[in-house]
């Protein structure tokens, strides 16, 4: 059976302060697949994810979510936004308890009482932070904050999970745990759109990889295709450079 | 020196024995300061939020004007309110001159610029990433605004407490609008001024000690609130 597209970006363009951030970005994300966006720092990955999360509106082009154009209509955008969630590279936490943070999105979706508590418990358990509900956010380590952010996003059982460098600067065991959660979300039927610097991670997790260079997606395909048959010289240089840095890092 | 020492001891006696006049003036002062702070907060939290969350031409200029009005002389506000509520003034028929409500209105006007400014500063202190997170998690614009106000709660409460502290120690408006009428509009500050002029130093000192104690308690509460919410 042909999988339907959950998210479609058509000719998306974005400029800020006269500077072009994104130009003619086209991407279709099918239900249930994991798509990894790779590319150098400043290439526009985060801007694209923010548009996919319906946080920012593109200057040009259209965003289609589940067959519905959500580029402009605020009501449709809110309804679609409540079916997805995003984990930011440096997650902002509400200055309160861990439980408050994880419950936030659930409360906005009408969860109350025992159901709310159960879902918060379940989300924290899934990221290995059982019993953290009453802890203050200010006392957590960087890795724990990242896991709370993931629990906050997973708690709402998103149809589309968007991750912006969710494992950057984390220790290998936390990275491995988060990758396990991403896989588990997909097994439960979630679609995942993620930006990552880690090419090996994109190989491990993604069904398809999209390479972003200077605000444009220059190559989209299966990881083995993208890494073995790079579409152009800049992509080849980027892929080789990243692989080299990883090798050096592994030996150091 | 002896006069000060004996005056101080008598002042403590007046407080310890709950002298009826001291108690009455203190309760009235607290009531008026509390009422003007509540009234000012009801105006300044929405006004500060409105200015912070909306973009409009002249926003920067409006904030500059508000900040300039921080140092609004109390006697000027006293004069303005006096002209408004005196018998011949546009609000004269409400009979507010030389009443506690007149003082409350005057002190509210006096507090509006600083409390609005501090509310704007408090909200500005919350990063745009908090708004993004709230919106991303499914908040509407109004829900995201409420989340930001909640995030800034320690600074907003500090603004309210500062407003209360200023209101209770204010003398210009209380004297000009209240008239310092014994048993009706006499508050701590106006009583201290009057009793000092009359040479009644024991009562002045007793009221002064109470005023300083209230300021101290307000500061302790403010530090505690900030310590708990900002830690």
The 10s digit of each residue's pLDDT in A183-218 is 999 999 999 999 998 888 999 999 999 999 999 999
State how far residue B227 is from chain A, nearest Cα, in angstroms: 12
Note whether B227 contacts A: Cβ–Cβ < 8 A: no
A64 pairs with which residues across the strands? Answer: A8, A69
For residue B231, what pLDDT is reported?
47
Spans of chain B below 50 pLDDT: 231
Do residues A148 and A132 make contact, with C-beta atoms less than 8 angstroms apart? yes
Mutant choice from A92, A154, A163, A166 vs B, greatest count of B C-beta within 10 A: A92
Note whether A68 contacts B: Cβ–Cβ < 8 A: no
Task: Tell whether the model's pLDDT for residue A172 goes beyond 90.
Answer: no
**Which among B129, B139, B140 has CB closest to A92?**
B129
- What the block records as the tokens of B116 is 């609005």
Give residue A236's pLDDT band: very low, low, confident or very high (50, 70, 90).
confident
Tens digits of residue pLDDT in B187-221:
999 999 999 999 998 889 999 999 999 999 988 88
Note whether A136 contacts B: Cβ–Cβ < 8 A: yes
For residue B69, what pLDDT is reported?
92
Range of the domain at B183: 2-230
SS3 readout for chain B = CHHHHHHHHHHHHHHHCCCHHHHHHHHHHHHHHHHHHHHHHHHHHHHHHHHHHCCCCCHHHHHHHHHHHHHCCHHHHHHHHHHHHCCCCCCHHHCCCCCHHHHHHHHHHHHHHHHHHHHHHHHHCCCHHHHHHHHHCCCCHHHHHHHHHHHCHHHHHHHHHHHHHHHHCCCHHHHHHHCCCCCCCCCHHHHHHHHHHCCCHHHHHHHHHHHHHHHHHHHHHHHHHHHHHHC
Model pTM? 0.83
Instruction: Please give the mean pLDDT across all residues of chain A.
Output: 91
From chain B, pick out residues whose CB is under 8 angstroms from the CB of A78: 138, 140
Find the CATH number of the domain harbouring B138: 1.10.3720.10
- Give the nearest chain B residue to A100 (CA atoms): B147
Domain residue spans of chain A: 1-83+160-170+187-252, 90-157
The ipTM value here is 0.91
Other C-beta atoms closer than 10 Å to the C-beta of A196 total: 22
Whether CATH 3.30.70.100 fits A1-83+160-170+187-252: no
Tens digits of residue pLDDT in A63-122:
999 999 999 999 999 999 999 999 999 999 999 999 999 999 999 999 999 999 999 999
- Give the nearest chain A residue to B131 (CA atoms): A92
Task: Tell whether the model's pLDDT for residue A238 goes beyond 80.
Answer: no
Number of domains in chain B: 1
A138 pairs with which residues across the strands? Answer: none
């Amino acid at each position: 059976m042909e999988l339907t597209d959950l998210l479609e970006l058509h000719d998306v363009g974005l400029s800020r302060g006269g500077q072009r951030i994104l130009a003619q970005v086209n991407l279709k994300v099918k239900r249930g697949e994991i798509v990894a966006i790779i590319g150098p720092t400043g290439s526009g990955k985060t801007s694209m994810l923010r548009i996919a999360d319906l946080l920012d509106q593109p200057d040009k082009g259209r965003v289609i979510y589940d067959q519905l154009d959500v580029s402009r209509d605020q009501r449709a955008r809110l309804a679609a936004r409540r079916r997805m969630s995003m984990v930011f590279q440096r997650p902002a936490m509400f200055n309160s308890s861990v439980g408050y943070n994880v419950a936030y999105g659930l409360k906005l979706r009408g969860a109350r009482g025992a159901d709310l508590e159960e879902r918060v418990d379940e989300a924290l358990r899934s990221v290995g932070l059982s019993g953290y509900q009453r802890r203050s956010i200010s006392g957590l380590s960087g890795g724990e904050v990242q896991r709370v952010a993931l629990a906050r996003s997973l708690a709402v059982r998103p149809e589309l999970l968007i991750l912006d460098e969710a494992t950057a600067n984390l220790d290998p065991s936390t990275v491995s745990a988060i990758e396990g959660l991403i896989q588990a979300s997909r097994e439960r039927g979630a679609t995942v759109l993620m930006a990552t610097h880690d090419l090996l991670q994109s190989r491990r997790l993604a069904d398809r990889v999209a390479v972003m260079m200077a605000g444009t997606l220059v190559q989209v395909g299966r990881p083995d295709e993208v890494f073995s048959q790079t579409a152009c010289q800049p992509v080849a240089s980027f892929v080789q450079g990243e692989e080299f840095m990883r090798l050096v890092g592994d030996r150091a | 020196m002896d006069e000060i020492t004996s005056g101080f001891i008598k002042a403590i006696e007046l407080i310890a024995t709950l002298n009826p006049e001291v108690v009455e003036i203190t309760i009235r002062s607290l009531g008026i300061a509390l009422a003007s702070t509540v009234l000012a907060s009801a105006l300044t939290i929405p006004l500060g939020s409105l200015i912070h969350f909306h973009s409009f031409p002249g926003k920067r200029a409006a904030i500059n004007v508000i900040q300039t009005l921080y140092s609004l002389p109390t006697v000027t506000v006293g004069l303005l309110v006096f002209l408004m509520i005196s018998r011949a003034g546009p609000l004269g028929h409400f009979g507010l001159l030389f009443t506690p409500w007149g003082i409350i209105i005057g002190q509210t006007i006096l507090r509006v610029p600083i409390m609005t400014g501090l509310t704007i500063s408090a909200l500005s202190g919350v990063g745009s990433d908090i708004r993004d997170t709230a919106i991303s998690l499914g908040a509407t614009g109004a829900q995201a605004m409420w989340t930001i106000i909640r995030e800034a709660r320690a600074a907003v409460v500090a603004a309210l407490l500062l407003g209360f502290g200023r209101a209770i120690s204010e003398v210009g408006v209380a004297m000009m609008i209240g008239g310092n009428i014994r048993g009706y509009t006499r508050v701590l500050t106006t009583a201290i001024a009057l009793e000092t002029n009359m040479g009644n130093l024991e009562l002045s000192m007793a009221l002064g000690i109470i005023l300083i104690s209230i300021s101290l308690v307000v500061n302790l509460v403010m530090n505690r609130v900030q310590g708990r919410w900002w830690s």
